[in-house]
Amino acid sequence: MNMETIKNRIATLFGVLILVFMLVVPTDVFSQGPPPWAPAHGYRAKTRHIYFPDQNMYYDIQRGTYIYFNNGKWSVSVKVPSIFVGINLGRSTQIELDFYGDRPQRYNYSHKTKYKVKKHHHHDHKHSKGNGHPGKGHGKGHGK
């Protein structure tokens, strides 16, 4: 075989692999955007976790998963947990945490205390920034 034939076969094989990949991988993998409750302007680039104090639940932006407490244990779901389906999360309080690990729920006691839900006031959608856990934040995000 000459070099030109080898190049043609490699190009053909590469094209077939791309075609197979496009047919096998579901299209929603490519089109999956932010959840419908996310603010139109998005979140800060360095934010990984959103904490919902009203529901005591987290959303991991990087993984696209919800972390919530149910039946005495922490659970993870790619869909809004069924116990929160009827709630408009876009109007719920959202705290952007300065925490980059995989398990923000490890600091849940601190989060519940720091972002305590006020029972007597009805607020429209609030969106604020917060440290992932007390004493571990970096102030205004300057990384010092």
Each of the 144 residues of the chain gets a pLDDT tens digit; together they read 788 888 888 878 776 666 666 666 554 444 456 677 776 566 777 889 999 999 999 999 999 999 999 999 999 999 999 999 999 999 999 999 988 889 999 999 999 999 987 765 444 444 555 555 444 444 444 443
pLDDT for the residue 137: 43
Residue type at position 15: G
Task: Please work out, in degrees rounded to the nearest 5, the angle formed at the alpha carbon of residue 58 by the alpha carbons of 56 and 61.
Answer: 165
Residue with tokens 């149910």: 70
pLDDT for the residue 100: 86
Give this prediction's pTM.
0.60
62 and 21 Cβ atoms separated by less than 8 Å: no
99 and 121 Cβ atoms separated by less than 8 Å: no
Is the torsion defined by CA of 68, 69, 70, 76 positive or negative? positive
The span from the CA of 115 to the CA of 133, in Å, is 11
Which secondary structure element, helix H or strand E, spans residue 110, and what is its range?
helix 108-114
pLDDT for the residue 26: 54
State in Å, rounded, how far the first CA of the chain is from the last one: 60
The span from the CA of 90 to the CA of 35, in Å, is 9
pLDDT for the residue 46: 81
